[in-house]
Structure 1
Amino acid sequence: MVSAVENTGSKPAAWGAVLSMALCVAMLIASEFMPVSLLTPMAEGLHATEGQTGQAISISGLFAVAASMLVTTAAGWLNRKWVLIAMTAFMLLSLVLVAAAPNFLVLMAGRALLGVCIGGFWALATAVIMRLVPTEDVPRALALMYGGQAIAAAFAAPVGSYLGGLFGWREVFWALTPIVAINLVWHAVALPSLPAHRKQDFRAMLGLLKQPYFQRGLLACMLSWGSAFTMFTYLRPFLEQVTGVDVTTLSVLLLLLGCAGFIGTWAAGRFLKGNVAPFLKLPALVMGGATIGLLLFGFSVAAVGFFMAIWGAMNTMFSVIWMTWMSQNADDAPEAAGSLMVAAIQASILLGAVIGGLLLDGISIEATFIGSVVLAVLAIALIGNGQRLLKPEAI
């Protein structure tokens, strides 16, 4: 395990930098998944089907996969502070392209650029956190950083849905741009210099991929994320077609889902300590169960709100659980592990959006949710008690 002194370079924990990264996480999540809450008006405005418009999420996932594998190696000896700043600048440009997109092609180009930002940022994020705070504070710092996810989940989707109904979907994306610009300046001020310790190459990634415990963990992570986003990408069509909600009720339900995320963030920071194995199957188990609940009781707004709250609480714990697993089981090669984890997660989001869209357009929205449950069951079966996903000396 990397020592606390090595992690922080003999400096105090840089909590201001952690907060800056938390805001970046909030903006990334808001930017990446805003089409979920605006899927219907975006499809109408671009003269496309909802299934096709859902690919605005899959295209960002595709480019995120590529970027996550390449950024840590292509950046070479570049200072990680300036790489993170560059990724945030890409996010700002992406939002401008999407908001001003005259057609579907330009929209997809903007989303592809966002994918580069997503892949690059997340590939470095956990490794950077491990350098900003002492080892014992890493789970707490990860929970704080992913608090940005809770904020985005709480407010981005419902506010986006509501404002989109009032002013139009383009204005929602324009509204994000000044916040990202502020975050860009905050990065420059708060992040300490983060010189590369060593030049990354693909050999470190291949070394990790040869480890059976890491292979199993990566596949389990992919199945869990694939399950979550096969459902989440097409949540709005489900709520409109099955539950029969209007825009106001949709916004309230999305706000409930998001606010529940604060409970998940609090729980992750409080209970996620020591052995992470018992927690690994919780995301697939709880979120898959909530999806079954939506399928069975989707006709009831109250029941839907209940299951969405459960899903939202686990959603924010999800990332902390799996990134803690990574930090504990690949601490000797955190950037290589981060690249592989982000590639796996984004590939899962991509496939979830593609498969879910095909099931939605080809069969029904219920078929999309059933596909999500199937992936959750496979994840639970692979994880078991979690011990086989741990590095031998960590067991």
Structure 2
Amino acid sequence: MSLPAPLAARSCHAAVLSMSLCVGLLIAAEFLPVSLLTPIAADLHTSDGMAGQAISVSGLFAVFASLMVGKLIGQHDRKPVLLCLTALLLLSVLLTALADSFAVLMLARALLGLVIGGFWSLATATVSRLVPAEQLAAALGTLYMGNAVACAFAAPAGSYLGGIIGWRGVFWTLVPLVLLNLYWQWRSLPDLPAPTGQTAANPLTLLSLRHVRYALAAVMLTFGGAFSAFTYFRPFLEQLTRVSLPQLSLLLCGLGLAGFVGTRSASAMVERHLYPLLGLLPLLLALLTVGLLLTGSLLWPVAMLLMLWGLVNAAIPVCWSAWMAQGVAGEAERTGGLMVAAIQLAILCGGAVGGVLLDQWSIHATFLVSAGLLLMATLLAGGGKRLRPLNA
């Protein structure tokens, strides 16, 4: 017996919201070290650049998970798979809070990377099955609103609470939220049998398509450039702008709050302007990154540029998620797996390169290389023609 349409619509909306909350918790768990980089490094007796690898290492395992998830889950129902991934997120957060050495922290981040790769590979395809096609853009906007919420509150709350209860205490606060999300997903997600007729072929076979190859290169340059700077915002603000802890929290909050505007704006624009946006957004981010360097010692200009940076940065994943949903007809899961692998590999490399440049040279070198990668992404994407399917 099928549900009445209004009840079914409410049920699907709750399922999308539960996934949006999971997105927020994933983003919070993945990037809280950005706002806690200095105390983590001091507590575990390592450098800021090495502590930054706590973000990068999750990307390595996310690459593996995103490429293998299709083969591993095969024809299994997607609902228990998503529940298992959320349970693994809980284990990662617990291990992070309990970490008494850099090695244990890396293990926790590796587990987190498996969750990131698996969840993001399935997220767009799952949302596509939960809502009608005409509601997909809005549903993807809702999904990424979890990203915007986490960016708005996780970093400033992390830096503020870290000064009160310590960086471990910050991660302990995530535990009940993940438990709540696990229960909500169990109650709200419908059964999601494997898509009919979809094969478990290696997603790398999609590289035979020209527009997919261009998209992979563009997405890697975009995310690599963005995260080589984003990962080291705290050292930048402490060393160049010389902010206090309360000022740091406010600046990171402004960065995240601007993400709400970016997410909502991108959701409204992707249907008509998707392909031009994929080239324009990294250009804007590159200019803002250079602007941060030029005004690094001036608090108010830095604050304004950070908010614009957050707005533009939040729009990027929404646009690429929309591209994933239509990049290869009937292959949303495989396309998602391949793109998530590219994004996570870019985050891994961007964070690693940024950390080496920070330790060996300065934050100036980190940000300039970030801007260079973003400019290369713009040149590759151009007006978006290369990223379109041949039949589009």
Structure 1 length normalisation: TM-score? Answer: 0.95
Please say if residues 257 and 313 of structure 1, whose CA atoms lie closer than 8 Å, have aligned partners that are also in contact: yes
Report the Cα offset of residue 296 of structure 1.
Answer: 0.6
Of residues 323, 335, 338, the one that matches 1:337 is: 335
1:71-97: CA deviations, max 9, x gaps? Answer: 121011111111111111111000000
Residue 200 of structure 2 corresponds to: 201
Tell me, in whole angstroms, the C-alpha distance in 1 between the residues paired with 2:160 and 2:273.
42
Unaligned runs of 5+ in 2: none
1:23 aligns with 2:21: yes
Q: CA deviation at 1:209?
A: 0.9
1:274 CA drift (Å): 3.6
**1:34 counterpart letter in structure 2:** L
* Alpha carbons 2:152, 2:257 under 8 Å: kept: yes
Structure 1 residue 261, shift from structure 2 partner: 0.7
- Would you say the 8 A contact 1:357–1:368 is kept in 2? yes
- 2:327–2:335 CA contact under 8 A, matched in 1: no
> 1:282: Cα distance to partner?
2.6
Structure 2 letter corresponding to 1:17: A
Amino acid at match of 2:162: G
Residue number in structure 2 paired with 1:379: 377
Shift of 1:12: 4.1
Residue identity in the other structure for 2:242: G
Secondary structure at the aligned position of 2:391 is classed as helix
Q: Is the 8 A contact 1:139 1:320 kept in 2?
A: no
1:266 Cα deviation from its structure 2 partner: 1.6
Deviation track 1:110-141 (CA, whole Å, cap 9, x = no partner) reads 01000000000000000001100111111111
Matching residue's letter, 1:357? G
Q: 1:74 aligns with which of 72, 75, 86?
A: 72
Q: Aligned AA for 1:249?
A: Q
Q: 1:199 Cα deviation (Å)?
A: 5.8
Q: 1:226-281, CA deviations, whole angstroms, 9 ceiling, x for partnerless residues?
A: 01000000110000001101111000000000000111122122222145211111
What is residue 267 of structure 1 aligned with on the other side?
265
Distance in 2, matches of 1:259 and 1:275, equals: 24
- Aligned counterparts, 1:96-245, within 5 A: 96-197=94-195, 198=197, 200-203=199-202, 205-245=203-243
Q: Cα RMSD over matched residues?
A: 1.3
Correspondent of 1:33 among 26, 31, 35 = 31
Deviation at 1:286, TM superposition (A): 1.6
One-letter amino acid matched to 1:299: S
Residue 201 of structure 1, CA deviation: 2.5
Equivalent in the alignment of 1:303: 301
Q: Shift in Å at residue 202 of structure 1?
A: 3.1
Counterpart CA distance in 1 for 2:287 and 2:137 is 26
Q: Which amino acid aligns with 2:270?
A: L
Partner of 1:323: 321
Number of residue pairs matched? 384
Q: For residues 202 and 350 of structure 1, what CA distance do their matches in structure 2 show? A: 25
The percent identity for this pair of structures is 50
CA contact (8 A) 2:74 2:194 kept: yes
2: CA distance between counterparts of 1:139 and 1:370? 34
1:353: how far off?
A: 0.8
Gap regions ≥5 residues in structure 1: 1-7
- Which 4+ runs in 1 deviate beyond 4 A? none
- Please state how far the C-alpha of 1:206 moved relative to its aligned partner: 3.5
Inter-CA distance 247–200: structure 2 relative to 1 (3 Å threshold): farther
Task: Look up the SS of the partner of 1:192 in the other structure.
Answer: coil
Does the CA contact (< 8 Å) of 1:39 and 1:53 recur in 2? yes
Q: Match of 1:388?
A: 386
* Paired residue type of 2:200: D
The aligned amino acid for 2:75 is W
User: What amino acid is the match of 1:251?
Assistant: S
Q: Deviation at 1:33?
A: 0.3
SS of 2:347's equivalent in the other structure is helix
CA distance in 1, matches of 2:107, 2:322: 33
Contact 1:68–1:123 (Cα < 8 Å) also in 2: yes
Amino acid at match of 2:373: L
Tell me which of 357, 360, 374 is aligned to 2:358: 360
State the 1:181 CA deviation: 0.5
- Paired AA for residue 389 in structure 1: L
Q: Distance in 2 between matches of 1:365 and 1:40?
A: 15
Look up the match of 2:251. Answer: 253
